[in-house]
Amino acid sequence: MAEQYDVVIVGGGMVGLTLACCLGGSALRVAVLEANPMATDWPADSIGLRVSAITHASRKVFNHVGAWQSMVDQRVTAYGEMRVWDAAGDGIVHFDSAEAGEPSLGCIVENRVIQSALLQRAAEFENIELMIPARWQQWHDEQDHVCIRLEDGRQLRTKLLVGADGARSPVREQAGIQTKGWGYDQHAVMAIVKTEQSHQHTCWQRFLPNGPLAFLPMHEHYSCVVWSTTPEQAAELVAMNDAPFMLQLGEAFEYKLGRVVGVCERGRFPLCLQHTLDYVKPRIALVGDAAHAIHPLAGQGVNLGVLDAAALAETVLASHTMRRDIGLLQNLRRYERWRKGQNVAMMLSMDGFKRLFGSPLEPLKLARNVGLNATNRLTPVKRLFMEYAMGDRGDLPTLAR
Ligand SMILES: Cc1cc2nc3c(=O)[nH]c(=O)nc-3n(C[C@H](O)[C@H](O)[C@H](O)COP(=O)(O)OP(=O)(O)OC[C@H]3O[C@@H](n4cnc5c(N)ncnc54)[C@H](O)[C@@H]3O)c2cc1C
């Protein structure tokens, strides 16, 4: 006998759990299927390698669903400034939250902190069932439901199946939804490092010929490094011993924070741009990286996913209140129209930045340095950039306002 749900979310990553929490406390019966067990406990002095720059808009969503305080209690580092400069010229731009009248531009949070806070919160809602670990084997459409068979033999029926299952989304694949995009022939090397000087609660980013190198502030003198470069250099940077790594990193960063004096963990991740042609099909919706993957140079990927989750929840709850079928394509289309345009605009801007700053052509080098300096002087343009970075622009879901 199949268990009956209104919404089944495949993927208990940051976006899938945000969606579950946005639907928490409603009259809908929700299940979350996550294939991998999740860590909720770790040594207090350890730092997770994967971190995200979280915008004000995402913070507001986390706060509305009741998960933010738990993230703050674990570890959140606010940053008030951002300094961006080009290795191939004198262009520099400095964003300061004080100019926007805000106490901060955003926060750096470890992904495991975000995920565990959302998991804890989701577990408190009676209408949410967490199935972890659980993996679906296959699903098929019935007239007004989707039937899902799990690997352990359980069967679920749902009015809406949501793919929050990451960039390789098996849900998207089985639904036959096509993607467009391209690889960047770049890997991001991530590392947690300790520097001689304080990071001054500032995000630092230097554009090097092979890609951007960012230092994101964490607690005390620790920073998370995101160094986008060729796959070959990335492999070398990850494989080399700590001492030469710290030396190369310090040099590449012009010793802005003094010497790099410690390194905890390192890993590398391939980068690509990917976008699905459809976010919805009858009884199917995609959110987060399942719908779009973006270059991390402006730290927007998960933030776009959080807004997808809040917008889909708002759409579904509105349909339910009006006693409409939440899985019908015409009701899901509102979500797609709402989020697709905004995600595409952000993805194309990031792609444009990546190409502009990666170009070895002299006229483009000159143009980008002039552009950085002009942005730095022109208060309205600078303000606009800051509002995008803080996630305060665009048609925001109610939970993000
Ligand atoms: C180097 C790097 C730096 C980044 N920095 C930032 C940043 O600063 N700020 C920012 O906003 N974004 C950043 N991003 C992007 C961000 O990490 C992603 O956008 C985000 O992790 C996507 O979350 P998600 O929940 O959509 O997908 P995922 O995190 O991929 O989660 C998908 C989940 O689905 C589960 N799953 C998959 N298949 C199944 C299945 N069949 N059954 C059950 N479960 C399944 C997986 O186990 C996983 O838990 C960065 C990305 C990279 C690569």
Separation of 243 CA from ligand 1 center, angstroms? 31
With vertex at residue 175, the alpha carbon angle to CA 171 and CA 178, rounded to the nearest 5 degrees, is 100
**CA nearest to 84, candidates 269, 398, 356:** 356
pLDDT tens track, the chain, 401 positions: 789 999 999 999 999 999 999 999 999 999 999 999 998 889 988 999 999 999 999 999 999 999 999 999 999 999 999 999 988 778 788 999 998 889 999 999 999 999 999 999 999 999 999 999 999 888 998 889 999 999 999 999 999 999 999 999 999 999 999 999 888 889 999 999 999 999 999 999 999 999 999 999 998 899 999 999 999 999 999 999 999 999 999 999 999 999 999 999 899 999 988 999 999 999 999 999 999 998 887 778 999 999 999 999 999 999 999 999 999 999 999 999 999 998 988 877 777 767 777 777 777 777 777 777 777 776 777 777 778 788 888 889 999 99
Structure tokens at 222: 């620790």
Pocket of ligand 1 (CB under 6 A): 10-16, 33-36, 52-53, 135-136, 164-166, 170, 188, 190, 226, 269, 288-289, 296, 299-303, 305
Q: Any idea which residue has 């939440």 for tokens?
A: 326
Q: What is the pLDDT of residue 115?
A: 97
Residue of the CA atom closest to atom 9 of ligand 1: 299
d(CA 308, CA 314): 10
Q: What is the pLDDT of residue 4?
A: 96
Please state which of the four CATH numbers 3.40.190.10, 3.40.50.300, 3.40.50.720, 3.50.50.60 is assigned to the domain occupying 3-77+108-181+273-358. Answer: 3.50.50.60
Q: Best of 34, 54, 154, 165 to mutate for ligand 1, by most ligand atoms within 8 A of CB? A: 165
Which is the closest atom of ligand 1 to the Cα of 216? 8
Query: With contact defined as beta carbons under 8 Å apart, do 315 and 308 qualify?
Result: no
Separation of 290 CA from ligand 1 center, angstroms? 9
Q: What is the pLDDT of residue 169?
A: 96
Return the biggest CA–CA distance within the chain: 68
Range list of H helices, 208-259? 231-239, 242-252
**CA nearest to 371, candidates 210, 363, 191, 157:** 363
Instruction: Compute, in degrees rounded to 10, the torsion defined by CA atoms 106, 112, 115, 117.
Output: -80
pTM of the model: 0.95
Which is the closest atom of ligand 1 to the Cα of 134? 43
Q: What is the pLDDT of residue 5?
A: 98
Q: What is the pLDDT of residue 44?
A: 84
